[in-house]
Structure 1
Amino acid sequence: MVATQDLAYDYPVLGAFWTMLWIFLWAIWLVLVIRVVVDIFRDRESSGWAKAGWLAFVLILPFFGILAYVIVKGQAMADRDSRRVEDQRSTLNAYIRDVAGGSNKDVDDLTRLSRLRASGDITDAEFQRAKEKILH
């Protein structure tokens, strides 16, 4: 039987393929480790001791620590990421609205009035009077 090392010398393309595969796998591993460590610190629901425990587990036994963290906290990790993306999106949209001409005060006032009417804080008659004031 021919060893893999001998195949690499006999087939240089195969050696290059194995090298690229290992580099790719290590890059994925590093990204995963960084994401998990960042998520450990970003988790506001865990106590400091829980964070320290997870961090020690991930750093002392990396393969088992990462696997356990993804199994136990994977859904919460995804939820935190999606909330962060939504926050960034809303911040960007607010910035774009401000730069594009500011918020339309009348629209904001009507939206606020509509919420007050929907919650029952003002009556329909009060809503109509306030709406007429805003629009005229």
Structure 2
Amino acid sequence: MDDFWSWFWLMVWWFFFIAYLIILFQILGDLFRDKALSGWWKAVWVVALILVPYLSALIYLIARGRGMAERHAEEDRARKQIMDDYVRATAGSGKSAAGEIADAKALYDAGAIDAAEFTTLKAKALA
């Protein structure tokens, strides 16, 4: 029975240690993501996290937690915008071959392009 409780408390301590490491990496990522915070303040926070880890992590979360969430959300929005722009650029117009041929035919009928250009556009759409 003593082995069970030793194992149980070991697992509890491991849980809290891994939770602390996750919080620590989140804090460090936020520190270096924050452009408004000067390098000296970043250094002070890093030293505090090394010397008094649990207390300084708790103080950081209380003092800068809201800004931390806002910076994270802003970075997510920026990444989403970059991805959306990339998808729009690579997806093209999204028209089918028939739609592209119809557009080319409309240009040909309007006299904007000649027969050779129409044939080239038609071959490109079918490729």
- TM-score using structure 1 length: 0.61
Q: CA deviation at 1:80?
A: 0.5
Q: CA deviation at 1:76?
A: 0.7
Which of structures 1 and 2 has the larger relative contact order (alpha carbons within 8 angstroms, sep 6+)?
2
Structure 2 segments unaligned to the other structure (5+ residues) = 95-127
What does residue 44 of structure 2 align with? 53
Distance 2:63 2:2 in 1: 40
Q: CA deviation at 1:41?
A: 1.6
Q: Which moved more, 1:35-44 or 1:65-74?
A: 35-44
**RMSD of Structure 2 on Structure 1 (CA):** 1.9
Q: 1:36 aligns with which of 27, 35, 39?
A: 27
Distance 1:63 1:98 in 2: 46
The answer as to 2:86 corresponding to 1:92 is: no
Q: 2:62 aligns with which of 50, 68, 71?
A: 71
Structure 1 segments unaligned to the other structure (5+ residues) = 1-6, 104-136
What does residue 15 of structure 2 align with? 24
Distance 1:18 1:60 in 2: 25
| Distance change in 2, residues 1:102/1:73 (3 Å) | farther
Instruction: Name which one, 1 or 2, has greater alpha-carbon Rg.
Output: 2
Give the length in aligned residue pairs.
94
Distance 1:38 1:27 in 2: 17
